[in-house]
Structure 1
Amino acid sequence: MTKLLIKNAQIVNEGKVFKGDVRVVDGKIDSVSASIAVQDEKVIDAEGKYLLPGLIDDQVHFREPGLTEKANIETEARAAVSGGITSFMEMPNTKPPTVTMEALEDKYAIANKTSLANYSFYIGATNDNLEEVLKADPKNVCGIKVFMGSSTGNMLVDNEVTLGNLFAKAQMIIASHCEDDPMIAENLEKYKEKYGEDIPMECHPEIRSAEACYSSSSKAVALAKKHGARLHILHISTAKELELFQNDIPLKEKKITSEACVHHMWFSDEDYKEKGAFIKWNPAVKTKEDGAGILAGVLSDKIDVIATDHAPHTLQEKSNTYLTAPSGGPLVQHSLQVLLDFYKQGKISLEKIVEKACHNPAILFEVENRGYIKEGYWADLVLVDLDAPQKVEKSNLNYKCGWSPFEGHTFSSSITHTIVSGHLAYENGKFNEDVKGKRLTFNR
């Protein structure tokens, strides 16, 4: 039986901040109290630090199998843990794509052996695999991923009959990437006519436009309403899309929910000149007004969760021109630090960060016994020092790809300890990989 005692922490949980102690016994939270007497256990003195539930990231791309020159489950789970993310839900656009139960279970087997964080994997929908998708067990698979707008090989689902059947029959969350491909293709042709092969990177949000996002998102919402489906729209990138969502009912009662990603709130189209392909994502980073609108949507509860869409590529790939550089970038190591910088800037409270990055993903996906600092729950915990600045440099990156869009920035706060299912997995820059993370289960 493993035992751990965290003392003197400022605990952030369920809308409150209070000083207290947390005892962990055999992987779970045994007690939370103002003061707990020391017994025969490892003690972490958290004086001056804040204790949060571990973050649950509902959208990552860890690239295994088949794309492991970019990343793999082992390296990216380690990076996530160093950033305070204790659980992740990973996407199906790997090679081969995760569109069969066999491919899905292969990924679970890899994670069981290598992932320092807790894990779940989406099964991917295609135009012709509905029968396979419906085999997934809602109790141990996080959801179904649908690319309703995508440049991701054969995973674009654009067959109207298939989409209707999926939304009518799915027994779990449908998580959707929403961009209108025909609109994007038309825009791209216009920019090719204007610039040839040398399209400037700052044209990306005009090619993958706000209109293309809204067109696809509104179509997904209409489908979900028609069929009574449980829809979760990923990485909202425009302020206009907020009108598609409600904030007048509790999250548990919502059938249509949405996600914001840290990069859409941090960067803007003004950053393309300096950052180039390193901030090229799909959907695109757009205007400052869009970023501010997304953050306002988070604060008003129109947007329900904050995640990353962590999607690394090699430095060589990202060093290409607009038409050949892939979209996506590494984020899991620094997403909590981004949010803590927002807190320091007065843009969001610690309580709201925990609500959107810890509690709400657990509610939205019905994750079993995680996402809170509660007795009887799994001990997924992160300690942060709000007064320990950290500069992002290549030497302190944990991503396999070896780069970050935040390089050169000094974050105001640091993650000092991360506990995953009761195991002290990360402490002051050092990993303990003796115990791996666990497969997430769901109360469905």
Structure 2
Amino acid sequence: MAGIQTIIRNATVLTPEGLIERDVAISEGGIAALLPRGEGTAPEIIDGTGRHLLPGAIDIHFHIRAPAYPDRGTVESETRAAAAGGITTLFEMPISKPCCNTAERVEMRKAHFAEHAFINFGLIAAPGDLSREGVAAMRDAGAVAFKIFTTPAPEGRDDEFFGLAFPDEADQLAALRAAARVGLPVIAHAESAQLLAHAERVAHGLDLADARTHLAARPDICEAVAVAKLLTMNMDAGARLHIAHVTSARTVDVLRRFRGTSDFSAETCPHYLFRTEADVTRAGVFAKINPPVRTKADQDALWDAIRDGTIAHVTTDHAAFSHAEKLASANNFLEAPPGTPGSEVLVPGMLDAVAKGRISLEKAMALLSGNAARRFGLTDKGRIAPGADADLILVDLAAETEIRPDTMLSFARDVAQLYHGARFTGRVLRTIVAGKTVYDGAILAAPGSGRFTSPLAAPAYAPERMSA
């Protein structure tokens, strides 16, 4: 077969139609054909015997912030770790320094990532001053979505949050309307600013070294109320609203009550699915994340929401801080920086859920890849089919992944104490981006090999509703 550069042979392939026994032919960065076993020739043959070939993960919630804060990691270090974890595309959140809140800054971030990234990248922008011209210019520069916080900017970080933090509800409504005008999704970190302020005042009187103090400072009602308000506003605004990192049973109930009222979707993260407050107590401030990791009952509710389609995305919320930054607030859950690296946990964790019978492999990959491609208009990604991008992962569903700081590639490996020692059934063996192997037990590609990714279309949202 002419023009074929690579054939992946003998793997079990996950396609939109289900698992099939085919060889996958790759040409010019895309999937050229699904071939009968043994058919065709190519300069490169990859043996997938006994393995599964899956769409690469599309992580729609990722923080890098580079080139600021090099002690937290760089685009190279964190996209290298993402590749090792089976992520072929990430969306960077706009909390850079300064905030990614204009078309010029989208272009600046694009240029920086293009020089250093090992995997594909999309850029999420802050809606900035909410002007028609500014929001449209960011869309035209290729922003994949907008992001807002319903909370104020953290003290001393105004330059990172200008045009991103909207604690005032009138501004939140304006941001939803602005995103609706240009047809891009708007992602919301939803916690009620007023209720948070009250809860934090109370929490300051508690034991600041106790993990439960963080739960007291950010109770689940703060999340649920903010989500309910946003969903109510969206009935007027008509935006393509996406609720970030859902943590609680109370918020799941809100999402179900609003089902069908507007175009919205929701995500959760591995730390909420695989960890509870007891694990945070063990790991200390290294496991502080906003919103907090909650109870076993909340965890169970999130899995129920995944099974019934209320939550259709699982993302990392990867946030790398330095070990020194976390350690400096070792006895103060209210002052410690919030976040944990998750790029090397996401895919193995969800494969482990498959191994344990929580969900099907088809459902897991919809949560990690297919739903994101449809929601954010990446029509060439998230599926293995002729004409799609060859962004693929070869996995061993029976092999074990152990999360250890000496094997992790994230610069923040020593901060990942929420996961240190974790063992997952399922292992990423090879990561292929645009037809080229980036990871095969080691990083094989060069920095800058990742491609900028932006929406090609904005279709009506219809997440896969695979059986659990």
Pick from 349, 352, 360 the counterpart of residue 349 of structure 1. Answer: 360
Q: Which amino acid aligns with 2:41?
A: Q
1:400 counterpart letter in structure 2:
F
Q: 1:336 corresponds to which residue? A: 347
- CA deviation digits over 1:102-145, x for unaligned, max 9? 11111100111111111111111356667523322268211111
* Contact 2:214–2:334 (CA under 8 A) maintained in structure 1: no
8 Å contact kept, 1:111–1:119: yes
User: How far off its partner does 1:68 sit?
Assistant: 2.3
Q: Distance in 1 between matches of 2:427 and 2:257?
A: 32
Give the corresponding residue for 1:267: 275
Q: Is the 8 A contact 2:348 2:401 kept in 1?
A: no
Specify whether residues 200 and 110 from structure 1 end up closer, same or farther in structure 2 by C-alpha distance, changes over 3 A only: same
The letter of the residue matching 2:263 is K
Q: Give the counterpart of 2:169 among 147, 160, 173.
A: 160
Distance change (3 Å), C-alpha of 1:346 and 1:304: same
Letter in 2 for 1:441: S
- Note the C-alpha offset of 1:381: 0.2
Offset of residue 234 of structure 1? 0.5
Query: Which residue identity does 1:347 align to in structure 2?
Result: R
Confirm whether residue 432 of structure 1 aligns to residue 445 of structure 2: yes
* Residue of structure 2 equivalent to 1:296: 304
Report whether the alignment pairs 1:193 with 2:195.
no
Supply the AA of the counterpart residue of 2:287.
I
Q: CA RMSD in A?
A: 2.2
Shift of 1:422: 1.1
Q: Confirm or deny: 8 A CA contact 2:125 2:147 kept in the other structure.
A: yes
Contact 1:126 1:157 (8 Å CA) reproduced: no
Distance in 1 (alpha carbons) for counterparts of 2:275 and 2:257: 25
Q: TM-score, normalised by structure 1?
A: 0.94
The answer to whether residue 144 in structure 2 is matched with residue 142 in structure 1 is yes
Unaligned 5+ segments in structure 2 are 459-468
Corresponding position: 1:180 with 2:182? no
Q: Which amino acid is the alignment partner of residue 49 of structure 1?
A: R
Which of residues 237, 247, 255 is equivalent to 1:237? Answer: 247
Q: Distance in 2 between matches of 1:138 and 1:290?
A: 40
3-state DSSP of counterpart to 1:270: helix
Kept in 2, the 8 Å contact 1:99–1:124? The answer is yes
Deviation at 1:4, TM superposition (A): 1.1
| 1-structure distance, mates of 2:88, 2:426 | 18
Give the direction of change, closer, same or farther, for the CA distance of 1:287–1:138 in structure 2 (3 Å limit): farther
Contact 2:439-2:445 at 8 Å conserved across structures: yes
Residues 1:366 and 2:368 are matched in the alignment: no
The superposition leaves residues 45-75 of structure 1 with CA deviations (integer Å, 9 ceiling, x where unpaired) of 1111111100101110012132222022111
Give me the whole-angstrom Cα distance separating, in 2, the residues matched to 1:428 and 1:415. Answer: 9
Does 1:102 pair with 2:110? no
Corresponding residue number in structure 2 for 1:414: 427
Within 1, Cα distance between the matches of 2:338 and 2:376? 27
- Pair 1:226–1:102, CA change in 2 (3 A): same
Percent identical among aligned pairs is 26
Supply the distance in 1 between the matched residues of 2:41 and 2:447 (Cα, whole angstroms).
Answer: 23
Asked if the contact 1:32/1:374 (under 8 Å) is kept, the reply is yes
Q: Residue type of the partner of 1:158?
A: P
**In structure 2, C-alpha distance between the alignment counterparts of 1:35 and 1:41, rounded to whole Å:** 17
Name the aligned partner's letter for residue 249 of structure 2: A
Does the aligned pair in 2 maintain the 1:368–1:441 contact within 8 Å? no
SS at match of 1:182: helix
| Aligned twin of 2:134 | 132
User: Where in structure 1 are there 5+ consecutive unaligned residues?
Assistant: none
Q: Is the 8 A contact 2:167 2:193 kept in 1?
A: no
CA distance in 2: counterparts of 1:150 and 1:130, whole angstroms: 23
* Aligned residue among 390, 393, 399 for 2:410: 399
Provide the C-alpha distance between the structure 2 equivalents of 1:398 and 1:330, rounded to a whole number of angstroms: 10
Partner secondary structure for residue 394 of structure 1? coil
Mapped to 1, the partners of 2:6 and 2:259 lie a distance apart of 38
Secondary structure in 2 matching 1:175? strand
Question: Superposition pairs for residues 25-44 of structure 1, below 5 Å?
Answer: 25-44=27-46
- Distance (Å, rounded) in 1 between the aligned partners of 2:28 and 2:259: 37
What TM-score, normalized to structure 2?
Answer: 0.89
Size of the aligned set, in residue pairs, is: 440
Task: Say which is worse superposed, 136-145 or 279-288, in terms of deviation.
Answer: 136-145
Which amino acid counterpart does residue 260 of structure 1 have in structure 2? Answer: T
> SS where residue 336 of structure 2 aligns?
coil
User: Residue type of the partner of 1:316?
Assistant: A
Change in Cα spacing, 1:71 to 1:117, as seen in structure 2 (3 Å) is same
1:370-418 deviations in Å (ceiling 9; x for gaps)? 1100101110000111222232222211111232231112222211100
| In structure 2, distance between residues paired with 1:81 and 1:425 | 7
Aligned partner of 2:42: which letter?
D
State the distance in 1 between where 2:4 and 2:410 align: 29
